[in-house]
Amino acid sequence: MTSAPLKGSDLIEAGPLADGTGTAQSVRPSRPRRRGRSAPYWFLVPTLTLFAAFTVVPIGYAIWLSLHRVQVKGIGLGKGARSQVWNGIGNYTDVLNDSEFGHSVLRAFGYGLIVIPTMLGLALLFALMLDTPKARSAPFARLMIFLPYAVPGIIAALMWGFLYLPDVSPFYYLLNKFGLPQPDLFDGGNLYLSFANIAVWGGTGFNMIVIYTALRAIPPDIYEAARIDGASNLNIALKIKIPIVMPSLVLTFFFSVIATLQVFTEPMTLKPLTNGLPSSWSPLMAIYDKAFLQSDIYGASATAVVLALATFVLSFTLLRISDRYTREDRA
Amino acid sequence: MSINRRQISRRSILAGAAALGLTSTLAACGGSDDDSGDSDSGPVKLTYWAWAPNMEKVAAIWNKKNPDITVTVSKQASGGEIVSKLITAKKAGNAPDLIQVEYQSLPTLVSNDVLADITKYAGDTKSNFAEGLWGMVTLGTDALYAIPQDAGPLMFYYREDLFKKHGLTVPKTWTEFAETARAAKKAVPDAYLTTFSANDPGLFAGLSQQAGAKWWTVDSAGKWTVGIDDAGTKQVAEFWGGLVQEGVIDNQPMYTPAWNNALNKGTHLAWVSAVWAPGVLVSSAPDTKGKWRMAPLPQWKSGENVTGSWGGSSTGVSTDSKHAEAAAKFATWLNTDPEALAALVKEVAIYPAATKGQSGSVLTTPEFFSNQSDFYTTAGEIAATTATAAWGPNVNTAYTTFQDAFGKATKAKKESQFDSALATMQSKTFADMKKQGFEVTEA
């Protein structure tokens, strides 16, 4: 308290004392400072321009569209038959009351409940196995596990689709040969397993690499210390490796949740093969159907905004939960 | 640890933002293309959006003969996707000059002001086409929205060899068709006469047209009537539903590897299809060349002679075109000039809509049907009996609902569900029109 005014008075005294030479000294540092202050913004301009042009403006346009609808007059043919009118939150209440969209979200969750634990469990297991000192031909195994990720989603879906179809599938041929029961993989609950299988097949490798990279970053002296304390490989995996790679697991979990809500390629590609797949099986399919088959860009925009918001809310909720979990862990 | 977590949260935000960006670009895409750079001097340049293969080869013939009007073909997707794309392009003010339009999409595009009225450039083009086809491009008004290009009259295709082998008769009525289906099932237990595909609303629409269905109609007062669950359509739905429930007709969708396999192996003995079927069979069932035969579609009453259509398209001129007259001239040439018709048949493999294209030397017997030398003579006779289709401005909604509702019904193999699926189709189509603001009632 007492030192502050003293310092202040010091400065005031120094001001007039400095005079001629003092001004030169005080101006010189201030100029670069001013220039320095604006420089970061100039560096930001390209990013901000692109961000505005390709993210902010499209989002704004989608929101604007989602608040409008088309109004047809009379018979609705020819010029001037259609006009775009304000619809307020009409499209949003439609989306929230649309049982088909609700079902598509539930289906995505059901699909995620199968895919995420299986895929991340396998990815973690593979990563840990590759990381054990005794693992043989690890680089080759790593490549083989990762390889399906390099197959484009559509190709993977088509390939599995052929394997699922009784008339062209070699599996069914064998089942038939041995007189075993032949399940309908496009029916009811099996459908979820069929899609989940494609996703797990394609996604495990990627998640495995993320976890494996984190495992490789652990300094080996920790293991040495653990071994001296008498820890087995299993103990090291469970008590040292998994807790340390937890952030990577959380990361892959988030990626998987978002990918689940956006599941599109597999059901879309397999839809023509079966009667059992409605056109709005997943949330993105419902949006695609509205926008590109029904030509209802207004309803599609509203649905897209709702899905994006839901993804946000879900991501942040999960982040909160994982935050609390790791904090407790630390304490 | 904390740094890691911060990174995660930032990444998830970015991913979320990317998700939002992605979905919103889906909704907003197709906004800004450069305007077609038209100059007043030099040849008129027209763009033509078409999905039929090799259309550019036919346009090349025109370009060679008409140096003052150059047509460039741009290949597009068909079905509902080109319709959405055209509506978006129209909003941006850069729809192409010429468009290949399926008949059932015409009302939707006219309703979105994509198609121009070309009556004043058409002259006496009308005389080139059958009455039923012309009705589809005028929408029953005084305007003309497109020139008919190809037709897809429905016919009955069957495996001649297998029919002979199992002593099956070619059905003349739908009652006989049901009997043949039962007889076929009895003769070959793991085979079916054919399938009811819930993925092909176009075929169902054609079968309903044959039964006299008018799904959309406009009265003189300017009011639409949606009558998808009318008596004719009901009859068709119940007929097929009954056969699927009985287990004598397959319930698998068409155009799948399994379906190709069934046709090729002969576990499907027949196919209700349109005049373009030979082109499909060539690739779907290559081993069955020369074993098929085509007959008229079975009738609801014996002695009647009606068929519906599956597919077919026309050539329209967009309201954005700055050279509507030149575009209409090309559209007329393309679909009525003998040289163009011959090229369409040869290169694009279509069945021309123009009456003079349906007879004469232009059409040669498909190689796949070498055993039926009068293929196109018979086809021409059948085409002349085509019922006019009545399309409305939201065919897409009706078609998607068909796929979803009938998909469930065929999977369940229950005739009663075929009935309720039809009711769903009716109510959803009606509700959609009502919501958009059309003056509309239910039949």
Rounded to whole angstroms, the Cα distance separating B296 from B304 reads 11
DSSP string, A303-327: HHHHHHHHHHHHHHHHHHHHHHHHH
Please compute the mean of the pLDDT values over residues B401-405 and round it to a whole number. 94
Measure the CA angle with vertex B90, ends B87 and B96; round to 5°: 105
> Which burial class, exposed, middle or buried, applies to A148 when counting CB atoms under 10 A from its CB (0-12, 13-18, 19+)?
middle
Q: Mean pLDDT lowest for which of A243-252, B251-260, B357-366?
A: B357-366
pLDDT computed for residue B32 by the predictor? 37
pTM reported for the whole predicted model = 0.84
Q: What is the mean pLDDT of chain B?
A: 88
Rounded to whole angstroms, the Cα distance separating B296 from B176 reads 13
| Optimal mutation site among A292, A307, A312, A324, interface B, most CBs of chain B within 10 A | A292
> Which burial class, exposed, middle or buried, applies to B167 when counting CB atoms under 10 A from its CB (0-12, 13-18, 19+)?
exposed
pLDDT computed for residue A2 by the predictor? 40
Q: What is the identity of the amino acid at A202?
A: G
In eight-state DSSP terms, residue A82 is: E
B415 compared with B221, residue with greater pLDDT = B415
pLDDT computed for residue A61 by the predictor? 95
Beta-strand relationship, B216-218 and B224-226? antiparallel
| CATH dotted code for A98-295 | 1.10.3720.10
B5 and A326: CB-CB below 8 Å?
yes
In eight-state DSSP terms, residue B413 is: T
Residue B324: which of B19, B169, B120, B172 has the closest Cα? B120
Is A165 part of the contact surface with chain B (CB cutoff 8 Å)? Answer: yes
pLDDT computed for residue B26 by the predictor? 40
Rounded to whole angstroms, the Cα distance separating B171 from B270 reads 11
A275 interaction partners in chain B (CB closer than 8 Å): 198-199, 251-253, 406-408, 410-411
A311 and B19: CB-CB below 8 Å?
yes
pLDDT computed for residue A293 by the predictor? 82
pLDDT computed for residue B12 by the predictor? 43
| A274 → chain B, closest CA residue | B253
Q: What is the mean pLDDT of chain A?
A: 85
| A80 → chain B, closest CA residue | B113
Strand partners, B313: B102, B150
Q: With bands split at pLDDT 50, 70 and 90, how would you rate the model's confidence at B285?
A: very high
| A76 → chain B, closest CA residue | B111
B262 interaction partners in chain A (CB closer than 8 Å): 167
Beta-strand relationship, B224-226 and B44-50? unpaired
Cβ atoms of A267 and A277 within 8 Å: the answer is: yes
CA A73 to chain B, closest CA, distance in angstroms equals 6
| A300 → chain B, closest CA residue | B27
Please compute the mean of the pLDDT values over residues A302-328 and round it to a whole number. 85
The secondary structure element, H or E, covering residue B12 is helix B2-28
Q: Mean pLDDT lowest for which of A316-330, B2-16, B137-151, B317-331?
A: B2-16
A245 interaction partners in chain B (CB closer than 8 Å): none
Please compute the mean of the pLDDT values over residues B323-328 and round it to a whole number. 95
| Domains B44-150+313-349 and B155-309+393-442 belong to one CATH topology | yes
Rounded to whole angstroms, the Cα distance separating B52 from B54 reads 7
| B16 → chain A, closest CA residue | A312
| CATH dotted code for B44-150+313-349 | 3.40.190.10
Q: With bands split at pLDDT 50, 70 and 90, how would you rate the model's confidence at A34?
A: low
Tokens read off for B169:
């008769």
pLDDT computed for residue A277 by the predictor? 87
pLDDT computed for residue A322 by the predictor? 80
Please compute the mean of the pLDDT values over residues B296-304 and round it to a whole number. 94
Rounded to whole angstroms, the Cα distance separating A140 from A124 reads 18
Rounded to whole angstroms, the Cα distance separating A328 from A268 reads 42
Q: For chain A, positions 298-317, list CB contacts with chain B under 8 A.
A: 300-301, 304-305, 307-308, 311-312, 315
Residue A151: which of A206, A82, A103 has the closest Cα? A206
Residue B157: which of B22, B275, B318 has the closest Cα? B275
Q: For chain A, positions 96-155, list CB contacts with chain B under 8 A.
A: none
Q: With bands split at pLDDT 50, 70 and 90, how would you rate the model's confidence at A35?
A: low
How many interchain CB pairs under 8 A, A with B? 200
Residue listed under structure tokens 């994509």: B114
Please compute the mean of the pLDDT values over residues B301-313 and round it to a whole number. 92
Tell how far CA B443 is from the center of its chain. Answer: 24
Rounded to whole angstroms, the Cα distance separating A316 from B253 reads 42
Rounded to whole angstroms, the Cα distance separating A279 from B304 reads 38
pLDDT computed for residue A32 by the predictor? 53
B154 compared with B5, residue with greater pLDDT = B154
Candidate CATH numbers 2.60.120.330, 1.10.10.60, 3.40.190.10, 1.10.1610.10; the one for domain B155-309+393-442: 3.40.190.10
pLDDT computed for residue B1 by the predictor? 36
A75 interaction partners in chain B (CB closer than 8 Å): 218, 222-224, 438-439
Rounded to whole angstroms, the Cα distance separating B280 from B278 reads 5
Residue spans of alpha helices (H) in A56-183: 57-66, 90-97, 99-131, 138-150, 153-164, 170-177
Q: With bands split at pLDDT 50, 70 and 90, how would you rate the model's confidence at A184?
A: confident
Rounded to whole angstroms, the Cα distance separating B156 from B271 reads 6
Cβ atoms of B139 and B111 within 8 Å: the answer is: no
Q: With bands split at pLDDT 50, 70 and 90, how would you rate the model's confidence at B33?
A: very low
The secondary structure element, H or E, covering residue B175 is helix B174-187
pLDDT computed for residue A326 by the predictor? 66
pLDDT computed for residue A328 by the predictor? 53
Q: How far is CA B4 from CA A121, A320, B1, B176, in A?
A: 21, 15, 5, 73
pLDDT at B346 over 90: no
pLDDT at B20 over 70: no
Strand partners, B289: none
Q: What is the identity of the amino acid at A240?
A: I
- Residue ranges per structural domain of chain A: 3-63, 98-295
First to last CA, chain A: 38
A258 interaction partners in chain B (CB closer than 8 Å): 12, 15-16, 19
pLDDT at A9 over 80: no
Question: Residue A199 — φ and ψ, nearest 5°?
Answer: -65, -40
Cβ atoms of B18 and A51 within 8 Å: the answer is: no
Counting residues of chain A whose pLDDT is more than 70, the rounded percentage is 87
pLDDT at A15 over 90: no
Q: How far is CA A213 from CA A124, B6, B417, in A?
A: 11, 19, 54
Each residue's pLDDT tens digit, B348-388? 888 999 988 887 777 888 889 999 999 999 999 999 899 88
Q: Which residues make Cβ contacts (< 8 Å) with residue B426, sequence separation at least 6?
A: B226, B227, B228, B229, B442
| Optimal mutation site among B3, B10, B13, B24, interface A, most CBs of chain A within 10 A | B24
Beta-strand relationship, B440-442 and B154-159? unpaired
Please compute the mean of the pLDDT values over residues A199-204 and round it to a whole number. 94
pLDDT computed for residue B4 by the predictor? 42
A62 interaction partners in chain B (CB closer than 8 Å): 23-24, 27-28
> Which burial class, exposed, middle or buried, applies to B442 when counting CB atoms under 10 A from its CB (0-12, 13-18, 19+)?
middle
CA trace torsion B297, B303, B305, B307 (10° rounding): -30
B141 interaction partners in chain A (CB closer than 8 Å): 77
A77 and B107: CB-CB below 8 Å?
yes
Q: Mean pLDDT lowest for which of A75-84, A190-199, A230-239, B254-263?
A: A75-84
Among B113, B257, B407, the residue with its CB nearest the CB of A81 is B113
Residue listed under structure tokens 């008229």: B296
Q: With bands split at pLDDT 50, 70 and 90, how would you rate the model's confidence at A149?
A: very high
Rounded to whole angstroms, the Cα distance separating A92 from B18 reads 22
Cβ atoms of B368 and B282 within 8 Å: the answer is: yes
Please compute the mean of the pLDDT values over residues A77-85 and round it to a whole number. 83
Rounded to whole angstroms, the Cα distance separating A275 from B200 reads 11
A275 and B407: CB-CB below 8 Å?
yes
Tokens read off for A194:
């069929």
pLDDT computed for residue A36 by the predictor? 67
The secondary structure element, H or E, covering residue B262 is helix B257-265
Cβ atoms of A4 and A11 within 8 Å: the answer is: no
Please compute the mean of the pLDDT values over residues A14-34 and round it to a whole number. 48
- Residue ranges per structural domain of chain B: 44-150+313-349, 155-309+393-442
Q: Mean pLDDT lowest for which of A40-54, B21-35, B143-157, B398-412?
A: B21-35
Counting residues of chain B whose pLDDT is more than 90, the rounded percentage is 71
Beta-strand relationship, B69-75 and B44-50? parallel
Cβ atoms of A100 and A286 within 8 Å: the answer is: yes
Q: With bands split at pLDDT 50, 70 and 90, how would you rate the model's confidence at A14?
A: very low
